[in-house]
């Protein structure tokens, strides 16, 4: 009998991209591997990407983990990188541990992947030392994100803050613009380009293009989250058309 894996997603209420890009990648994987996936979400209220709203939203994540564990999901993905990174250096470890314990206490133990932790861990896996980063956030939040990543041991050669505060507007940002944005950055000495340090800002359609234009491996928060979800379920982390990380080179 074909195994079906349940993917749980803890999603900001205004997020519309996590439930499109991650399913798109896992559905693409279904074309080359036997496993199938279903997708299940629980939402945390948030409209504007501001530090106070992010903190209030994060406080709802325990409820979401509890709700999703009622469905006996195989993995939980926390879909807001900046919410985690704005809570203090290293907070993804605390969040993942706490939310996992919620599932354990509900007799439905499931691994937890945060997009923040996934991005950091995948950059380490790729042996990246120097990176450039594209974010949709306002500059003060972008600086928090850049500092968080730097504290994990990476040198940020360059970054851009697109200054989009409304979370719906973040999702509406045309990914076709990202190639031009990257070409204005000092990426030449970078080991990896982080094309979207945000699971709400679309980037999947242009990952291959940016890799071709720059000659650099390109990842996003959504790609890193997908990689770590697959690893957490003991599945081969390979997805066609999702860039270097999911090409099989890091399986």
- 162 annotated binding-site participant: no
2: exposed, middle or buried (Cβ count in 10 Å: 0-12, 13-18, 19+): exposed
- 76 annotated binding-site participant: no
Q: What is the Cα–Cα distance from 101 to 196, expressed in whole angstroms?
A: 29
Selected catalytic residue, list 26, 46, 68, 80? 80
DSSP single-letter state for residue 173: S
Catalytic status, residue 198: yes
- 81 annotated binding-site participant: yes
- 101 annotated binding-site participant: no
Catalytic status, residue 122: no
- Which helix (H) or strand (E) element contains residue 193? strand 192-196
Burial state string for 8-19 with b = 16 or more CB within 10 A and e = fewer than 16: bbbbbebbebbb
- Which helix (H) or strand (E) element contains residue 25? helix 18-30
Largest CA distance in the chain: 51
Selected catalytic residue, list 10, 57, 119, 198? 198
- 49 annotated binding-site participant: no
Q: List the helix and strand counts (H, then E) for the chain.
A: 11, 8
- 180 annotated binding-site participant: no
Nearest to 166 by CA among 9, 11, 61, 14: 14
Residues annotated as catalytic (active site), given as ranges:
80, 198
Q: Which residues are annotated as a binding site?
A: 15, 80-82, 137, 167, 199-200
Q: Which residues are annotated as a binding site for substrate?
A: 15, 80-82, 137, 167, 199-200
């Amino acid at each position: 009998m074909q195994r079906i894996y349940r993917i749980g997603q803890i999603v900001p209420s205004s997020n519309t991209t996590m439930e499109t890009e991650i399913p798109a990648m896992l559905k693409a994987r279904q074309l080359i591997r036997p496993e199938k996936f279903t997708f299940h979400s629980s939402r945390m209220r948030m409209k504007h990407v501001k530090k106070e709203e992010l903190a209030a939203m994060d406080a709802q994540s325990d409820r979401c983990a509890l709700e999703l564990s009622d469905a006996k999901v195989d993995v939980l993905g926390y879909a807001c990188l900046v919410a985690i990174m704005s809570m203090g250096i290293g907070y993804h470890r605390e969040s993942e541990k706490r939310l996992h314990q919620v599932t354990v206490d509900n007799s439905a133990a499931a691994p937890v992947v945060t997009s923040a932790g996934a991005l950091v861990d995948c950059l380490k896996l790729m042996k990246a030392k120097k990176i450039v980063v594209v974010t949709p956030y306002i500059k003060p939040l972008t600086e928090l994100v850049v500092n968080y990543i730097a504290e994990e041991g990476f040198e940020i050669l360059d970054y851009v803050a697109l200054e989009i505060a409304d979370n719906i507007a973040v999702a509406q940002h045309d990914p076709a613009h990202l190639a031009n944005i990257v070409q204005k950055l000092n990426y030449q000495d970078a080991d990896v380009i982080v094309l979207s340090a945000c699971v709400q800002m679309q980037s999947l359609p242009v990952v291959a293009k940016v890799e071709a234009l720059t000659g650099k491996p390109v990842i996003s928060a959504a790609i890193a989250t997908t990689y770590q979800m697959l690893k957490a379920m003991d599945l081969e982390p390979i997805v066609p058309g999702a860039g270097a990380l999911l090409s099989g080179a890091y399986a």
